[in-house]
Chain A
Amino acid sequence: MTTETPSNKLNIYGQTFNSRLLIGSALYPSPKVMQDSIAASAAEIVTVSLRRQSPETGGGNMFWQQIKDLGLTILPNTAGCHSIQEAVTLAQMSREIFATDWVKLELVGDEYNLQPDPIDLVKATEILINDGFKVLPYCTDDLVICRHLVELGCEVLMPWGAPIGTGKGLLNPYALSAIRNRFPQTTLVVDAGIGKPSDAVQAFELGYDAILLNSAVAQAQDPIIMAKAFKAACEAGRYGYLAGKMPEKDTAQPSTPTLGMPFWHQS
């Protein structure tokens, strides 16, 4: 039996984590529900972003204080950026304000499905890595794009399960599985598209190291209970993967002993 040891904790650029759930801070019905949901999820990494300061919302200070109160590791994103320059500038601003060299690199390539632009994503990744960033690229499930990102030095890849906010689950398990098999040493996170706890279980059963989600919890009818459900799902999926599933068979095999069966065929 395989058991969890420190060596198989989630590893992100040399930092280790017990939780394999990365969670977003957006779209919750209220700040209190956001805090309680994130706490219930047991996530140790929370995603945040930067936008124009609005005096009406206290300049973002109230939100930032609420996040800091959670005491978690911060992962800033570049959500909404449509060009390499926008993404690089936002990453640099995030590094200063959040005091981290981690960046969840998002570069929108098409408004219809918010698909990452694979070409500009690679170019922006190279610029940011050369500038000292530890890049966590939100990418499509394209094996070759993933290979370019790994060759540039990405230790973490975050391919999508489905477009952001759709909750459609893992639309292409084959492609995700191929990425897992091709890059056994890379930390792989399914980012976006997860809608229900069983999607999370499936990601771990494919051998993924972690999942990143936001809407699935924040837009659930009860976000706090759903956060607990995803916590349990991540543990179930990870343990299931470590344990190794039984071999599949094409024919039924009785589990209860047949030897000693009374009235066996009435003979």
Chain B
Amino acid sequence: MQLKINGQTVETSESRSLLEIVRDFGATAPFALAVNGQFVPKSQHESWVLSDQDSIEILSPVQGG
């Protein structure tokens, strides 16, 4: 299936979990995830069911004012 991760198009197997997919993408802790604009809590990173064309955001701490 085809996904968008942080704006980049990625091809992945349907059998991979959300956590595996973001790790494959290169995500390193600390990060928080959203799928299609909805927050996905850490407790659901392994169980979250993704669909073709889903859009994943991997966010990490940055400077802020």
Chain-B contact segment, one of A9-17, A92-100, A115-123, A179-187: A92-100
Q: Is the CB of A59 within 8 A of B31?
A: yes
Contact residues of B between 19 and 52, Cβ < 8 Å to A: 26-34, 37-39, 41-42
- Across the interface, name the chain B residue whose C-beta is closest to A80: B64
The interface on chain A, measured as residues whose beta carbon lies within 8 A of the other chain's beta carbons, has a size of: 39
Q: How far is the CA of A218 from the CA of B36 in the complex (A)?
A: 35
Q: How far is the CA of A34 from the CA of B59 in the complex (A)?
A: 22
The interface on chain B, measured as residues whose beta carbon lies within 8 A of the other chain's beta carbons, has a size of: 25
Q: Is the CB of B41 within 8 A of A53?
A: no
- Across the interface, name the chain A residue whose C-beta is closest to B39: A92
The interface residues of chain A lying within 8 Å CB-to-CB of B27 are: 53, 59
* Given A60-B30, A85-B37, A96-B41, CB of A77 within 8 Å of CB of B64: yes
| Inter-chain residue pair count (beta carbon < 8 A) | 107
The interface residues of chain B lying within 8 Å CB-to-CB of A52 are: 6-7, 57-60
Q: Is the CB of A60 within 8 A of B32?
A: no
Q: How far is the CA of A249 from the CA of B59 in the complex (A)?
A: 57
The interface residues of chain B lying within 8 Å CB-to-CB of A8 are: none
Q: How far is the CA of A93 from the CA of B37 in the complex (A)?
A: 11
The interface residues of chain A lying within 8 Å CB-to-CB of B42 are: 96
Q: Is the CB of A60 within 8 A of B65?
A: no
- Shortest C-beta distance, B56 to chain A (Å), equals 10
- Across the interface, name the chain A residue whose C-beta is closest to B59: A50
Q: How far is the CA of A26 from the CA of B61 in the complex (A)?
A: 12
- Shortest C-beta distance, A41 to chain B (Å), equals 14
* Given A27-B63, A77-B64, A79-B65, CB of A53 within 8 Å of CB of B37: no
Interface: A164 (CB within 8 A): yes
Q: How far is the CA of A34 from the CA of B62 in the complex (A)?
A: 13
Q: How far is the CA of A64 from the CA of B31 in the complex (A)?
A: 11
Interface 0/1 of A41-85, CB less than 8 Å to B: 000000111111111001111011001000000001101000001
Q: Is the CB of A59 within 8 A of B60?
A: yes
- Shortest C-beta distance, B62 to chain A (Å), equals 4
Q: Is the CB of B37 within 8 A of A24?
A: no
- Shortest C-beta distance, A86 to chain B (Å), equals 7
Residues of chain A having any CB pair with chain B under 8 Å: 24-28, 34, 47-55, 58-61, 63-64, 67, 76-77, 79, 85-86, 89-90, 92-94, 96-98, 164-165, 214-215
Residues of chain B having any CB pair with chain A under 8 Å: 6-7, 26-34, 37-39, 41-42, 57-65
Give 17 new A-B contacts, CB below 8 A, not counting A50-B60, A60-B62.
A28-B63, A47-B64, A47-B65, A48-B62, A48-B64, A49-B63, A50-B32, A50-B62, A53-B60, A55-B28, A59-B27, A59-B60, A61-B60, A79-B65, A89-B39, A93-B33, A97-B30
Q: Could you jot down 5 A-B contacts, CB within 8 Å?
A: A25-B64, A47-B64, A59-B60, A61-B60, A96-B41
